[in-house]
Amino acid sequence: MVLQFSKAVMTEITKISPTLIVLSGLPGSGKTVLAESLSRALSIPIFSIDPIEAAMWRAGLAKTKTGIAAYEVAQALADEHLRLRHSAIVDAVNPIEAPRAAWRKLAAKHRVSLKIIECVCSDETLHRQRIEGRVRSIAGTHELTWANLLQRRAEYEAWTDPGWSWTRRARHPRSCLRKR
């Protein structure tokens, strides 16, 4: 399904270039897997919040100080690529309006297309298994607990912008892709 999704996005992206692609959704919803697939298929760099934030922690910044700063770094990196008329992929939770507005503003600044892909894991059992079993290779990062995810889910606001929603379901062998 990821390959089919990549082809669908690639068809859309080749119509309008450069493009800012923003993948959003709760941890464990498949953002990074999809971002990496798109990056490989389209040869577009990914700016992911988790490795940026982990680098800040390794440099000695307090974990309580890096959330907004990591988004600022990702925006600066994407800004530079868009300035050069290159596309960019952003992999970030984007739980509330403030970071979402920043991506809209960045796309408008460079007069590029903004493609939003909200990733959702609709099966709670699968989502919990993904969170509790995941071990990422990001040096200095910590893994989220299910309790942490539930807290973040309570604070997460669904996107209302036009875009795609990519829903992963455990009971069905395929994921569901639909435009909003």
pLDDT in tens, 69-92: 999 999 999 999 999 999 999 999
* Separation between Cα atoms, residue 66 and residue 89, nearest integer Å: 20
Contacts of residue 52, Cβ cutoff 8 Å, sequence gap at least 6: 70, 73, 74
Burial class (CB in 10 A: 0-12, 13-18, 19+), 156: middle
* Residue 101 clears pLDDT 70, i.e. is over it: yes
Structure tokens at 140: 């200095």
Instruction: Give yes or no for a contact between 175 and 166, defined as CB atoms under 8 angstroms apart.
Output: yes
Confidence at 113, pLDDT banded by 50, 70, 90 = very high
Q: What is the pLDDT of residue 55?
A: 92
Burial 35-45 (b: 16+ CB within 10 A, else e): bebbbebbebe
Confidence at 166, pLDDT banded by 50, 70, 90 = low
Q: What is the pLDDT of residue 104?
A: 95
Q: What is the pLDDT of residue 6?
A: 65
Q: What is the CA radius of gyration of the chain?
A: 16
Burial class (CB in 10 A: 0-12, 13-18, 19+), 135: exposed
